[in-house]
Amino acid sequence: METKVLYHNGCNDGFSAAYCAWTVLGDTAEYIGVSYGEEPPTINDGDRVYVVDFSYSRQVMLAMAKIASEIVVLDHHKTAQEALLGLSFANFNMNKSGAVLAWEYWHPDEPVPTLIQYVQDRDLWKKELTISDEVYVTLRSFKMDFQVWDALAKLSYDDFLFIARTIGTPILQKRQQDVEAIATTYTWTEIGGYKVPTVHTSKPTYTSDIGNYLCKLLPEAPFSAIASDDEDGNTRWGLRSIGNFDVSEIAKQYGGGGHRNAAGFAQAKA
């Protein structure tokens, strides 16, 4: 019997949720980054499984539950909540990020670290905390390593912000220049029955920034779509909107999901 933590791969919130698990489980668990549109990892009889900031279809999750000795889902994506409605092992809170849900699960009586608060602030696109964007780009500049995250989580509030300002300010300035330059390459494409501005980029970590920039630049568009190719040649689409247009409904048409203003789906290479 093994303990497996499945987390949203390549995502600050997903990795931070896995980090929260690591602070308790340590090296007794296997941590597996997973992505939408990919086959789930093998679950063996008796495994204990945690799925954080992510979930599979109802059919897949029920199949896992039959094999695993224990399964827990901690997620906050709208489409996933709808798919897993009524399952006792599926825990959702749309007002919190995956990382905060994970921290509160493994550390129910401890305050949420500054690091995790900032991850949530960006992931929910609230950006209410001071220098939220600088913190985000600082984290993206680091290797996703539990020891690195642990060092950051243990910093004082002032030291954490000092590092973010020092590292993040110049990165953010260059990033904004890149976002605006990439956004100018948009073309109009029909997705889900709507004509929307679309960009193909080699910088997938810029998806939200480019998408939101296009939505502000072209308010007549219901949403924007940002495509990037992964290392296997699959195309990953990020959909972004501002206001009431629910892009998760568009993503569902292509087997994906997400939130009202931020969703995505994957297309296998031809």
d(CA 84, CA 255): 15
Give the residue from 252, 245, 254 showing the smallest Cα distance to 220.
245
CA 90, 259, 173, 181: dihedral to nearest 10 degrees?
A: 140
Pick the CATH number of 187-267 from 3.40.50.300, 3.10.20.740, 3.10.310.30, 3.30.160.250: 3.10.310.30
CATH code of 3-170, in short, is 3.90.1640
Total-model pTM? 0.88
Q: What is the pLDDT along the chain (270 residues), one digit of tens a residue?
A: 899 999 999 999 999 999 999 999 999 999 999 988 889 999 999 999 999 999 999 999 999 999 999 999 999 998 899 999 999 999 999 999 999 999 999 999 999 999 999 999 999 999 999 999 999 999 999 999 999 999 999 999 999 999 999 999 999 999 999 999 999 999 999 999 999 999 999 999 999 999 999 999 999 999 999 999 988 888 999 999 999 999 999 999 998 989 999 999 998 876
Give the dihedral sign, CA 243/245/251/257. positive
d(CA 263, CA 253): 12
d(CA 233, CA 231): 6
Q: In terms of DSSP bridges, do strands 187-191 and 262-267 run parallel, antiparallel, or are they unpaired?
A: unpaired
**Burial (CB count <10 Å: 0-12, 13-18, 19+), residue 254:** middle
Half-sphere exposure of 209 (CA within 13 A, CB side): 20
Question: For the chain, what are the domain ranges?
Answer: 3-170, 187-267
Contacts of residue 147, defined as CB under 8 A and 6 or more positions apart, other chains included, come to none
> What are the DSSP E strand ranges found in the chain?
3-8, 29-34, 48-52, 70-75, 90-92, 187-191, 194-200, 224-229, 235-240, 257-258, 262-267
